[in-house]
Amino acid sequence: MMKHVTVIGGGVLGTQIGLMGAYTGHQVTFWLRSESSIGRTQPKLERYKKMMIDELERSKQLIGNPLAAAYFPKGLIPDPANITVAKIDASIETARQRFEEQIEITLDLAEAVKEADIVIEAMSEDPAQKKQIYERLKAVMPAKTILCTNSSTLLPSQFAEATGRPEKYLSMHFANQIWRFNTAEIMKHEKTDEAVFNTVIQFAEELNMVPIPIYKEQPGYVLNSLLVPYLSAAQQLWAVGIADPEKIDQTWKIGTGAPKGPFEIIDVVGLETVYNIAKRQPQAETEGTIPNQITKLLKEKIEKGETGIHAGKGFYTYE
Amino acid sequence: MMKHVTVIGGGVLGTQIGLMGAYTGHQVTFWLRSESSIGRTQPKLERYKKMMIDELERSKQLIGNPLAAAYFPKGLIPDPANITVAKIDASIETARQRFEEQIEITLDLAEAVKEADIVIEAMSEDPAQKKQIYERLKAVMPAKTILCTNSSTLLPSQFAEATGRPEKYLSMHFANQIWRFNTAEIMKHEKTDEAVFNTVIQFAEELNMVPIPIYKEQPGYVLNSLLVPYLSAAQQLWAVGIADPEKIDQTWKIGTGAPKGPFEIIDVVGLETVYNIAKRQPQAETEGTIPNQITKLLKEKIEKGETGIHAGKGFYTYE
């Protein structure tokens, strides 16, 4: 088992990764850039600690319900079949204690990584920033340490040389609400050592994640490689006027049993993100094409402020 | 409300449509081609009657379960929020009675349609056969009668003229296990009368279906227009060796909460069907392309007999 886990960055995913690390018994160190980063990260940590403990509390109501298997937060309760109220109470107790005792925050990069078995870089998706931090890490990270990036849009080969340890560098991509959407997409690049790849797959299991090994570099990893064409097909039906978004969603939900249809997912992802993807289509700027019609209609909605669930309105209206 | 519903054909979907028609209070007449068709249709009718009543019985166990809403067969129990054991028992009683009293089978086409408010053609997907039956119907169907095709692969405009009533002709496409997957995709063609389109939308509601109005002809309707690119994206990840089918499925299920991933769906649809769709891709026959690799890999599995859930093995092994 990995003992020391260092998380570089205290954003939404970084904090969640660190908390899951501590919850599952690891010693976690956050490296943050400045005092003001600490000021921004602390409230996030408190918020996600509370969400995790609230999820555990709520899960008690699921015990004994024959339909509940799918509803447990698997990152927190990996074995719902054998769960009891007493076990959940013990997990809550453990969570509180580990959040208290097994998490450190430091501004000193050398200090942050000096005992690290694995470092997870969870900075913003800015290649220049990533390269800069990799250069700094190269100077202070022990030779044994594995370095992972949580990037969701950049490929690891782009940075492999900059890390100075291409064979110990790869992607490990987590999803928001890690305690519930507990996949870890683990993607190697051509120079990643096979043993390192396997070690990170095991580490994902230690974190109560379901490891998703990705054997070749793939933009969008697995989830977005499926989501993008699926959401795009739905947007086509809408843009061409074949059917209404709500009806398209109903068809998908009834036909496949899924809890959300494509337009409900678009509202969660946010219309700006979907628009940015649509704009990259080859024909997006060619008048009279479907991709062009899609970008125009999305833009209209964005300009009206209908950008999704966070705005209270997207394809649906939210309270 | 439509009173007399005639179903042309006694296949899997035809029988289910007729049974739902009777269950929801309509007078249903099946037209079958021959005595031997009757011999094939009767056991199907008995089988689906039993499945519907079993579903009603099983639903009693869901009552009071706060997680059960998604599990009720909505075609049979459209309002699960207010359901009781007594109401389900009454529905079972009604079902038995209506299956007995409100269904007729005839070999006489004129007799079958003489009082029909709506005729649903649910023959096999053979354009020549469809044209032939439309020609025969033209001679005997009352002027007021609406004619729908349950075709899932052919577009209504192809047959509109042959029906002699293009303005009263359109598609109404049901899904297998109509009592649970209760969408009715209702697609008009350019000459379909708007009032007729709306009447059929209402009729779908009378059948406890969720109507999905489709305003322009679209091959694949809504569901397959989403499924095909989604399943194709999954096949690409597999064929290129990005990730394993089971892991691709896990990613989708955890990421979106869906009960099935793409390869589980492919196993249900059947690999032959998926192969036939893949073969139609422009590059399917060009060596070295991804579509070509997909068709090759699918063909290998089909040749080994791994054609899906019905064969006991596809991407997964079934008992």
Chain A residues with CB under 8 Å of B251 CB are: 183, 185, 212, 222-223, 226
Residue type, A34: S
Which of A189, A214, A239 finishes a domain?
Answer: A214
Alpha-carbon span B269 to B263, nearest angstrom: 10
Residue B317 lies inside a defined structural domain of this protein: no
The answer to whether the beta carbons of residues A77 and A106 sit under 8 Å apart is no
Per-residue pLDDT tens digits for A2-59: 999 999 999 999 999 999 999 999 999 999 999 999 999 999 999 999 999 999 999 9
Residue B221 lies inside a defined structural domain of this protein: no
From the list A66, A237, A254, the residue facing B181 with the nearest CB is A254
Q: What is the pLDDT of residue B266?
A: 97
Q: What CATH number is associated with residue B17?
A: 3.40.50.720
Smallest CA–CA distance, residue B103 to chain A, in Å, is 27
Element (H, E) at A199: helix A194-206
Interface test with A, best of B171, B197, B242, B263 (most A CBs within 10 A): B242
A91 shares its domain with A17: yes
If you count residue pairs, one on A and one on B, with CB atoms under 8 Å apart, how many are there? 158
A275 shares its domain with A163: no
B208 shares its domain with B233: no
A162 shares its domain with A285: no
From the list B67, B216, B234, the residue facing A67 with the nearest CB is B67
A32 shares its domain with A78: yes
How far are the Cα atoms of A242, B59, B61, B64, B184 from residue B72, in angstroms, in the given order?
A: 29, 6, 10, 12, 18
Indicate the number of domains in chain A: 2
Residue A274 lies inside a defined structural domain of this protein: yes
Q: What is the pLDDT of residue A293?
A: 97
Q: Do B237 and A259 touch (CB under 8 A)?
A: no
A202 shares its domain with A231: no
| Tens-digit pLDDT string for chain B (319 aa) | 899 999 999 999 999 999 999 999 999 999 999 999 999 999 999 999 999 999 999 999 999 999 999 999 999 999 999 999 999 999 999 999 999 999 999 999 999 999 999 999 999 889 999 999 999 999 999 999 999 999 988 999 999 999 999 999 999 999 999 999 999 999 999 999 999 999 999 999 999 999 999 999 999 999 999 999 999 999 999 999 999 999 999 999 999 999 999 999 999 999 999 999 999 989 999 999 999 999 999 999 999 999 999 999 999 999 8
Residue A317 lies inside a defined structural domain of this protein: no
Beta strands B210-214; B183-187: pairing state: parallel
Q: Do A242 and B255 touch (CB under 8 A)?
A: no
Q: Do A222 and B247 touch (CB under 8 A)?
A: yes
**Which residue has tokens 């995913």?**
A13
Residue A219 lies inside a defined structural domain of this protein: no
Q: What is the pLDDT of residue B153?
A: 85
The answer to whether the beta carbons of residues A55 and A180 sit under 8 Å apart is yes
Residue type, B166: P
Q: Return mean pLDDT, chain A.
A: 97
Q: What is the pLDDT of residue A305?
A: 97
Which of B214, B248, B272 finishes a domain?
Answer: B214
**Which residue has tokens 């007999």?**
B305
Give the tokens for residue B296. Answer: 């090759």
Q: Do B70 and A183 touch (CB under 8 A)?
A: no
Per-residue pLDDT tens digits for A116-144: 999 999 998 899 999 999 999 999 999 99
Residue B186 lies inside a defined structural domain of this protein: yes
CB burial string A2-31: b at 16+ within 10 A, e below: bebbbbbbbbebbbbbbbbbbbbebbbbbb
A145 shares its domain with A201: yes
Q: Do A215 and B241 touch (CB under 8 A)?
A: yes
B78 shares its domain with B44: yes
Which of B194, B214, B234 finishes a domain?
Answer: B214
From the list B227, B255, B265, the residue facing A223 with the nearest CB is B255
A157 shares its domain with A301: no
A170 shares its domain with A256: no
Q: What CATH number is associated with residue B236?
A: 1.10.1040.10
Tell which wins on pLDDT, A154 or B247: B247
Residue B301 lies inside a defined structural domain of this protein: yes
Answer whether residue A319 shows pLDDT above 90: no
User: Looking at residues A205-213, what average pLDDT do you find?
Assistant: 98
Smallest CA–CA distance, residue A228 to chain B, in Å, is 9
B57 shares its domain with B187: yes
Alpha-carbon span A221 to B113, nearest angstrom: 55
Residue B316 lies inside a defined structural domain of this protein: no
Q: Is B83 helix (H, G, I), strand (E, B) or coil?
A: coil
The range of the structural domain enclosing residue B22 comes to 4-214
B173 shares its domain with B263: no
